[in-house]
Structure 1
Amino acid sequence: MKIYFTDFFNIETSKLAEFGAFNISLINDLPLFIDPFLLFGSKKSEYKELHENILKYLTFLKSKSETGSKSIAEIKSWYLFPEVKQNWFGYSKVGNGGSGLGKKFAKSFSSSMHIVFDDLGKEQITQSSHLEKAGLFQIGVGKDNISDFTTNLTKEFLLEYTQKFALEFIDPSLLRKINVSKVYFDYKLERWMPKEYTLPFIFNDFVILTPKDILTKDDNWINSNDLRGDFISICNSIPNDQLKHEINNYFRKALPKPPRYKKNTQKEISTAIMETINNYPEIIKYYVKLKEENKEGAKNISKQKVEEVESKFVEQILKFVDILSTKTEFYKIGKNSSYTEALKRLEYLKDVIENNDGYKLFYVKQQPIKREEDLQIIYRLTWFATEYDVNREPNNGRGPVDYSVSKGSVDKTLIEFKLASNSKLKQNLEKQVEIYEKANNTKNSIKVILYFDILEYNKVMRTLKELKIEKSPNIVLIDAGRKKSASNVK
């Protein structure tokens, strides 16, 4: 069964591990991305150089921003980049194709350079400037934009890193010389230049490897959630007593007075925080300073997050697929309708999870998964070996459904995955898939609900009875609770 880079290119996993690269899935994106702070905080000279190169490019952009208006052609050339999908990281809804850095990002970023990077190269409070600062202002630049921009600005390093591994360990028949666009920036010509590499090649495209020690999950080390969550302690860390007093005073006034015996809502607090930051942008510099002082914390937390993804989406998936292929007919189902095949495979999944230790797939550090997005990735990675087209979250007009399993344009089945803990489970069961069926022109749908204990099971059953669908054949309940002796169940 081929799921990961080492499978497709016949590489021992130990070789890739020794090289330091993540064993990516070539079936679906995994939720990881490069954190530029890990480049800044690293002791490796090549990573520090990458961070300096990012700052050099930001300096170029700022200098151009300060000269006045820029042409559309210049903005496209300097700010617009496609997603580097070949690294197979991110949050793509189908396969590994994302949207990249478009015109909205280019316009927002180019017009805000003088605000975000006002002290670029002249830092007094922080040790350095950081690309991630752009995500702390309300200018329409999010963490996905930071991730895509970072990957593009480090693409030359990633390509050379991949080529080095490929030439040493991969069969030449699986490699191809590729002229890659926008690899490095020529500061004399002021344009991005192509470069040729010998790279792993599959599915009519090349593949890029990434070192594990520059990857993270969820948020950059410098992120807006921490900025808001640590706002009070950040303000208290400011050494200038007058500035600290002014900021605290402004924040108190920005908070609306709550009704008697009640506290301000989280939304009111967040709004007041952002209003205060907009008036006192120095706060961001002191926040970044605190982050810079904890480089080891950044590296340790990111390492833990990468290990979690590796455990959940690589190691445990391999064990799960092995059980499915050796103990069930999951990958041998004959030619049926998409609905029949989907239902049969879900029955096999249910049996393995409930009776053959498959439940372990849904636990990380003894805790059950809490995100439906993780459940959906797991499903995609286990369903791959089929002649049916399985798309993750296709959006056909009314919003995304988890999966569409189809064979041609006529035979299509929609599959909705939910955790029993979902607070909107009843609403989803009642409305969601029926709406999607109309949009996708199909009458076939299956609802899969994963529960972890008796309380969640009872909640689901109450909901199903209220909706009068407790006996519906297209609702599959799966017990993923811990089993004391699942391996002995026949």
Structure 2
Amino acid sequence: MNIYFSDFFEVTPEAIDDYGAFNISLINDLPLFIDPFLLFGNASSEYQDLHKSILKYLTFLKQKADAGITKFAQVRSWYLFPEIKQNWFGYSRIGNGGSGLGRKFGEAFSQSITWVFSDLGKEVVTQTSHLEKAALFEIGVGKDNISDFTTNLIKDYLLTYTEKFALEFIDPKKLRKVTVSKVYFDYELERWMPKTFTLPYIFSDYIILTPKNILTKDENWINANDLRGDFTSICDGIPNEQLRHEISNYFQRQLPAPEKNKNNTQKEITEAVQETIKKYPEVIEWFIKKKEENKVGAKNVSEEKVEEVAAFVKNIQEFVALLVSLTNFYDIKPKGSYDEALQRIAFLKDVIENNDGYRLFYLDGNPIKREEDLQIIYRLTWFATEYDVNREVNNGRGPVDYAVSRGGKDKTLIEFKLASNSKLKQNLAKQVEIYEKANNTKNSIKVILHFDATERKKVIDILKELKLEGDKNIILIDASRKISASNVK
């Protein structure tokens, strides 16, 4: 079964690994992204040059903003980019589609770049500037924007990196010359220019490979959560005693008086931190300095996160192999979307509960905690079907996990939930009914994964209370650890 780049392009995973690239899935995005700090933190001249090129472009943008941007056409030309879906990274739960860097991002960044990067090129506290700084202010720029912007700014490098691998390892029949838009910036013409590459080509599109050592998961090294979480220690590290006292005093005054014998809530503390940072943005400089001084930590966290996703990938490969060898999962002759969905879920349940498939749902011995991971797993195993398997986005009532359909009349909705979900009862009571109405279908299935007896009891009790016990459209899957099937005699 073809799932990964190595499968489709008939190269060994070892060749990709030795090259330093990540072996991406070509079925669904994986939850990794480029962290620009890893360019700064790497000693290689190649990565240092890439980081400098990002700062050069930021300098250009700031100069234009300082002079005054009067037309949206300028924002469109310099700030707006389509999502680079060809690297198959990001936050999409279906395929590799995303939103890219649109008008909202462009306007937010262009209107704030002058003061966010007021010391660009003349830093006093930090070693240099960092693009991630934009996500530390409440200006409408998030971590996904930072990653997308970085990917676009180093697109020439990524395409060249991919082309080099492709020409050496991939059958020329699987390659194509492609002219890619917005590859490099011409500072004389002040516009982004196209460039032609010979690249791996499949599904009517080219593919981009990415070096593993610039990837991470969950958060950039410089991120707002750490800024808030480490606020006290950051302030304690400011050498100016008067400034340190003023910041501490202002922070304390932002905290509301707690109830008797109680401490301030985390929400109250977070809001006080945010107000203090608005008043004293110097805190951000000292936070970034602290991050700069721990390049090794950034590298170690990145490696750990990438290995975690690599283990996730390996688990899925083994799980698909089990489905192929033990079931007819990929050979179902469908009578309708509902029947196919039920059959495939039944096969999943059997392999998970009775044939060691439960291992898929554990990383480093711990069960997965995010339903997003469960949904990605589902998509990475649910292919080779005549039906469309899509995530519904604009149905008027919010997204379901998946809609399996063929045409407008044959549609089945599928929801995946972890038993640990604190809103499971609420979801079971209302969610499917609402989604059925919004999607004009009566067919819907709920799949609930539990990891121990306590979680199972919780689900059973909820089903009894809602009078849903025995409902054939609510399927429980036991993903608790079991004695290996190979060891059962």
* Aligned pairs for 1:91-110 within 5 A: 91-110=91-110
| Aligned residue in 2 for 1:143 | 143
Task: Supply the distance in 2 between the matched residues of 1:341 and 1:322 (Cα, whole angstroms).
Answer: 20
Deviations 1:9-30 (A, max 9, x none): 1111111111111011111110
- Tell me if the contact between 1:125 and 1:289 (Cα under 8 Å) persists in the aligned partners: yes
Extract structure 1 runs of 4+ deviating beyond 4 A.
Answer: none
Deviations 1:193-235 (A, max 9, x none): 0000001111111000000000000000000000000000000
Q: How far apart are residue 407 of structure 1 and its match?
A: 1.4
Partner amino acid, structure 1, of 2:76: K
Does residue 300 of the first structure (1) align with residue 300 of the second (2)?
Answer: yes
| Aligned residue in 1 for 2:485 | 486
Task: Supply the distance in 1 between the matched residues of 2:189 and 2:484 (Cα, whole angstroms).
Answer: 67
| Aligned residue in 2 for 1:316 | 315
| Aligned residue in 1 for 2:86 | 86
Q: How far apart are residue 335 of structure 1 and its match?
A: 2.4
Partner amino acid, structure 2, of 1:90: G
Partner amino acid, structure 2, of 1:15: A
* Aligned pairs for 1:441-452 within 5 A: 441-452=440-451
| Aligned residue in 2 for 1:389 | 388
* Aligned pairs for 1:68-467 within 5 A: 68-312=68-312, 314-467=313-466
| Aligned residue in 1 for 2:20 | 20
Q: Which moved more, 1:170-179 or 1:386-395?
A: 386-395
- Structure 1 residues not aligned, in runs of 5+: none
- Tell me if the contact between 1:76 and 1:106 (Cα under 8 Å) persists in the aligned partners: yes
Task: Supply the distance in 1 between the matched residues of 2:60 and 2:236 (Cα, whole angstroms).
Answer: 35
Deviations 1:89-130 (A, max 9, x none): 000143111110111111110011111111111011001100
Task: Supply the distance in 2 between the matched residues of 1:76 and 1:305 (Cα, whole angstroms).
Answer: 34
Task: Supply the distance in 1 between the matched residues of 2:443 and 2:368 (Cα, whole angstroms).
Answer: 28
Q: Secondary structure at the match of 2:395?
A: coil
Q: How far apart are residue 488 of structure 1 and its match?
A: 4.3
Task: Supply the distance in 2 between the matched residues of 1:394 and 1:8 (Cα, whole angstroms).
Answer: 29
Deviations 1:464-486 (A, max 9, x none): 00000011001110000000233
Q: How far apart are residue 393 of structure 1 and its match?
A: 4.6
| Aligned residue in 2 for 1:9 | 9
When the two structures are superposed, what TM-score results if normalisation uses the length of structure 1?
0.99
Task: Supply the distance in 2 between the matched residues of 1:399 and 1:239 (Cα, whole angstroms).
Answer: 49
| Aligned residue in 2 for 1:477 | 476
Q: Secondary structure at the match of 1:398?
A: coil
Task: Supply the distance in 1 between the matched residues of 2:349 and 2:357 (Cα, whole angstroms).
Answer: 9
- Tell me if the contact between 2:81 and 2:101 (Cα under 8 Å) persists in the aligned partners: yes
Q: Secondary structure at the match of 2:329?
A: coil
When the two structures are superposed, what TM-score results if normalisation uses the length of structure 2?
0.99
Q: How far apart are residue 267 of structure 1 and its match?
A: 1.3
Q: How far apart are residue 266 of structure 1 and its match?
A: 1.3
Q: Secondary structure at the match of 1:267?
A: helix
Deviations 1:73-100 (A, max 9, x none): 1111000000001000000143111110
| Aligned residue in 2 for 1:42 | 42
Task: Supply the distance in 2 between the matched residues of 1:335 and 1:230 (Cα, whole angstroms).
Answer: 54
Q: CA RMSD in A?
A: 1.0
Tell me the number of residue pairs that the alignment of Structure 1 and Structure 2 aligns. 489
- Structure 2 residues not aligned, in runs of 5+: none
Task: Supply the distance in 1 between the matched residues of 2:96 and 2:326 (Cα, whole angstroms).
Answer: 30
Q: Secondary structure at the match of 2:69?
A: coil
Q: Which moved more, 1:260-269 or 1:343-352?
A: 260-269
Q: How far apart are residue 415 of structure 1 and its match?
A: 0.4
Q: Secondary structure at the match of 2:405?
A: strand
Q: Which moved more, 1:391-400 or 1:23-32?
A: 391-400
- Tell me if the contact between 2:256 and 2:268 (Cα under 8 Å) persists in the aligned partners: yes
Q: Secondary structure at the match of 1:331?
A: helix
